[in-house]
Chains A and B, each alone.
Chain A
Amino acid sequence: MTVQYLFFFAQAHHEFRIPELLSLSKMFGFDLNLPENPEDQDPTRPFLIVGLQCEEHARLLASRSILIKSVYEYYGHGSTYEELHLSNRNNRNKWARYIPDTSFKFIVTAYNHKIPQLRQRDIVESFSYMGFLGKIDMKNPDIVLACFEECKSYIDRHGTTREKHEGDGLFKQVYFGRQVAMGSARSLITMFDVKKRSYYGNTSMEAEISLLMANQTLASPGKVIYDPFMGTGSMAYPTAYFGAQIFGSDIDGRQMRGKGDTPGIIRAATQYGVATRIVDLCTFDITQNPWRCGDLFDAIITDPPYGVRAGAKRLGRKRELSPAKMAAYLEHRASPRPDDQPYIPPTKPYELSRLAVDLVLLSRYLLKPGGRLVFFLPTVTDEYEEVDIYSMLCPGMEVIANSLQDFGSWGRRLVTIQKTVRVTYLPPVVEAQDRPEDQHVPAHKDFREKYFRGFKSKN
């Protein structure tokens, strides 16, 4: 039997909400029932009613979800107080056990709106039929009962939900329940704040998104997780904090090292107490990688270079070398140097839609069965079509979540792809030449050029 819980969410990254809940319930290994009516799943609204087996599951979600603000046992809701009281009376079996001798506190609020004291008191009074005999205790109550008004809301052009103030007492829905847990993982956003990190760079990913990505990987103790475009390691810290062991690599060792002897990533990981979980950092081009075998990782978490701040590149060059230059490069082989020395092998541009296809293929090889690839794909808002995401898949890899972070004319999609087969694959061969464009051309193709053109058409 499932019990209904009322979840109250932060009004941010609404497209990430349901994927995060589903990932966490999968990670903890319990069932989670979403409302059947799609309108009741609307992520632009702050509340969601979810069916769970027990209160402990609600607490677990609140301990790990980045978007949950608080969780209540659901007692009732309605578009008027009459409707609310009717459903609350029908749920008497849920709260009758608190009648005889439970101290309580009553909270009445509205999201982004302050209900005047007088009306607050009236609302509390209107619940008097519940007949609670325990004492009211504002400091240390046994239970907290909460009544929330949901104001009418709209989504602004940044994708943030805003409340419309139409006056006190005008609301869309009112909800009532008993407080079960406060979302404790939201404080990690402050803890992992990039500005307070001892090592970061201009490619660092903001804390909240890194944490949401980490939850999509199902990171937990004993898991092994890899970032092939490690940069300054932003996603490694929360992932390691959740208990996973991390491998990182990057074509440019200086991104991972920073200045000083101890690599920057190790300095930052030490700050978070997770340095021992950064297993190793290696410098290499992901298209020419030294992994001895596949089926290694539980997840791959990454922010691929899309050429705006950190250009996508790969080893090789656009044109052949002169004999003299060739001789100079041959010398590199005779006296190889660490990657922080001036010699950096030549690189050539790496077009985004090709990189995405290569990343999915490589992940299928490197992931364990059931493993997940979690990565960002930038998209051009007006041109994006769902088929763009499917055009980069290969057999055995399935999209399980696709959440947009909207920046206006462009956006980026957090894509979660799962390896659904037990087949062991051979390492994919990354073709040196660009493929002929015979297939669907996704809108993220040549993203860098489109970005710098301001997403206007060529002519």
Chain B
Amino acid sequence: MVRLITHNLLACHVKGCTSNNFPLEFKDVQVELRDAEFNSDFLRGFIPKIEWKALVDAARQVGNTSLPLELPEMLDDDFLKSLHHVLLEIHVEEGSMTCPNCHHVYPISNGIPNMLLAEHEIG
């Protein structure tokens, strides 16, 4: 954990930070790979939610280049296997995520990101 599926769903939520606040940039990450169960229905259902470019970039930041730059129209098994691996099997255990807009740093320790805001950052 933080898996890339989660990274693809988290945006900076500091008060007033509403544009260019996604994707958060990984810094100083420690990555672990762990097997997860493959479920093609789950993947197919989730694909419409993915911000594709953000996922491809995040995968590259952690050293995985298996995804095509564009989401393919044909979702064959090989593609779903790579997608499964990228979304669910890459865990960022330590490091941080920085907002590209306001530069708030969200630290990650033992796989749990701290997304709490300081009090001047809340709405």
Contacts and interface: CB of A to CB of B under 8 A. Distances in A.
Contact of B107 (A245, A333, A337): A337
A251 B116 contact: yes
A339 B1 contact: no
B112 A277 contact: no
A253 interface: yes
Contacts of A261: 110
Chain B CB count within 10 A is highest, among A221, A253, A333, for: A333
A247 B13 CA distance: 18
Interface residues of A, number: 50
B10 interface: yes
Interface in A286-302: 288-293, 295-296
Interface stretch (B39-47, B57-65, B72-80): B39-47
Interface of B: 1-3, 5-6, 8-13, 22, 34-37, 39, 41-42, 45-46, 49, 51, 88, 96, 104-123
Nearest to A315: B122
A222 B111 CA distance: 23
B41 A345 contact: no
Contacts of B112: 253, 256-257, 263, 281-283, 338-339
Nearest to B115: A284
A285 B13 CA distance: 11
A330 B22 CA distance: 23
B119 A276 contact: no
12 contacts: A221-B39, A224-B46, A251-B116, A266-B1, A276-B88, A284-B116, A292-B11, A333-B118, A333-B121, A345-B118, A346-B119, A429-B123
B49 to A, nearest CB: 7
A296 B117 CA distance: 23
A339 B111 contact: no
A316 interface: yes
Contact of B9 (A278, A293, A317): A293
A93 interface: no
Contacts of A277: 37
A285 B1 CA distance: 19
A330 B118 contact: yes
A253 B114 contact: yes
A292 B10 contact: yes
A345 B9 contact: no
A338 B42 contact: no
A118 interface: no
Contacts of B115: 249, 282-284, 289-290
B22 A292 contact: yes
Nearest to A432: B123
Given A247-B6, A290-B11, A262 B110 contact: yes
B3 A222 contact: no
